[in-house]
Amino acid sequence: MKKILVADDEMSIRLLYSEELKDEGYEVLTAADGREALDIVEKNPLDLVILDIKMPEMSGIEVLRQIKEKNPNLPVLLSSAYSEYKQDFGTWASEEYLVKSSDLEDLKAAVKRHLQD
């Protein structure tokens, strides 16, 4: 079973994403801030990370930078309420940049795409 980490400081988002992904048949771990997210990445073999950008302790960009430093092959999807950073960070190091939306089809399609590779 593929293991996915959902890192977001918003509890409702963590809940929504993990419910939805579990329904899709993935194992889901969650983290409420950047530091916790890095912790989990270090201790668990993961297949994919869904990362919020604005989080306390450590921003998603920094988490992304550290993940890519140690584990460049682990796919990371940025999921942010900010749409305008898409062109700044979307092509930088993450695999995808998804603006948060109640319609989760794009997110699920992206997860599926990156787990197939």
Partner 1 sequence: MSWKKKNSACSLIPAVRGQYHRPNFQTLASFAVADDNFLYGVLLLVDKKRRKLDTATLKLIKLACLMLAGTIRQALRHDETKKRIAELSGLYEIGMATSATMELDALLERILSTAAKVINARGAILRIIDEQTGMPRVASEYGEVSETSACLLTSNLETAVVSGELPFVATTLPDHQGHLHSYLGVPLNFKGHLKGMLCVFDKMSETLEFQEFDAENRQLLFTMAGMISSSIENALTFRELETLAEKNERMVRVLTVLQEISWALMTTVRMEKILDIILNALTLESGLAYDRAVVLLVNEDRHVLKAVKGVFRKPSPPTLPLREALMVPVEVRTESEIEKLLSQLQITLQEDKGILARTVLQKKTFHIAQAEQDARVNQELRRAYDLQEFVSVPLIVKDQVTGVIVVDNQQSKRAIRDEDVQILNMFANQAVLAIENSRLYSTIEANNRELSLIRERMLESDRLAALSGLAQGMAHEIRNPLTSIGGFARRISKKVGKNSPLRHDVEVITQEVERLEKLLREVLDFSGVNLGYYEEHDLNQIIEDALTLIKRDLVASNIKVAKDFALLPNVHCDDRQIKQVFYNLFQNARQAMDKGGTLTIRTYPMEKSDGLYAAAAVSDTGGGIPLELLHNIFNPFFTTKEFGTGLGLSIAERIVSRHYGQIEIINELGKGVTFIVTLPIAKYCLIKSTEDQEAQT
Q: In the complex, which residues of this chain contact Mg ion (CB under 5 A)?
A: 9, 52, 54
Among 29, 49, 61, 78, binds partner 1 (CB under 8 A): 61
Among 39, 44, 70, 88, binds partner 1 (CB under 8 A): 88
Q: With binding defined as CB under 8 A, does residue 40 bind partner 1?
A: no
Q: With binding defined as CB under 8 A, does residue 109 bind partner 1?
A: no
Q: Which CB sits closer to partner 1, 39 or 88?
A: 88
Q: With binding defined as CB under 8 A, does residue 115 bind partner 1?
A: no
The dihedral built from the CA positions of residue 34, 52, 116 and 68, taken in this order, carries a sign that is negative
